[in-house]
Structure 1
């Protein structure tokens, strides 16, 4: 019998998953979910002003050389929050910051951002450094949300991990109990329109 990744009697918060050295597949398997690494065909929307996104992109190109971004807080304030401000301007979505969630001793903590519009939900996690370990944490957060949310009107939960200048998306298929990590990554500021289009597409899809 394979030894458990989790230590008996220890309570795990979401941030603890970032410290685990085990592969994502093994971590989510212990929580009862499958894992795949593939190209995910994410929703896209162009129902917004491209001029505003271009302005934001140019602003980031101007200010980023002047700002030392070496912490998760800095990444959230200067690289993630400006994008979410535009989401708030373009949709009626509700954006929760530091959203507390507790399911059990293995799944508890705070989500950096929880964005919801009707039945569509996006979790965004800002991490310093390692995208792969960050995705372990994002996976735990999506699983916690799946267990916490009784409303099953949407079969897919969406998530994104960002180290500030790089974004990567993932999904949780609720009925199949499967987490998928997108092969593609997106850089900021260069791919800001793509990231914004995906976020808009998820929130406004029918």
Structure 2
């Protein structure tokens, strides 16, 4: 096949693929909006995952729907990430205020136990706020299933595998529990707390975003 014909065919095929992707994007966005209006958050999160897999550039509304779904399901880290992406498209009052509220009330946590052995995460006092409660309950469930957790948790006192720790906004806590490399019984507990503001950490900002004026 002459190169010119090959190039024309390739361009036509690429354009057709782009049209199909955009059509699929419109379909999924419509379903995302409908599910969001009905507050069917698990369905919203599944559709959002399909959009991400599609690889198209998401709209502000896509990302905001995804953030609402993640928050409702206790995945505050995903909610934060989606809000950050939405803020680059439209730094609306809703998004900036929401990011500020997360920065002021949550801290980054990495928990790991090797090997997994009946791992338990508890909190001293369960928060009254439903979003914070959902985040704690999600973390407790993930730790019980996998023996690890990486994400955002509301400020408070926690215990992981017998190790007490505090979650504070602006600080990243990492706890690793593993058997001692000795004949004696026991565990090695590695606890680290590092600032996330001003260090390119979890939040990715030099300081929490200021809330917008009313």
Instruction: Give the TM-score, by structure 1 length.
Output: 0.26
Q: Which has the larger radius of gyration?
A: 2
Higher helix share: 2
Q: Which has the higher contact order (CA 8 A, sep 6+)?
A: 1
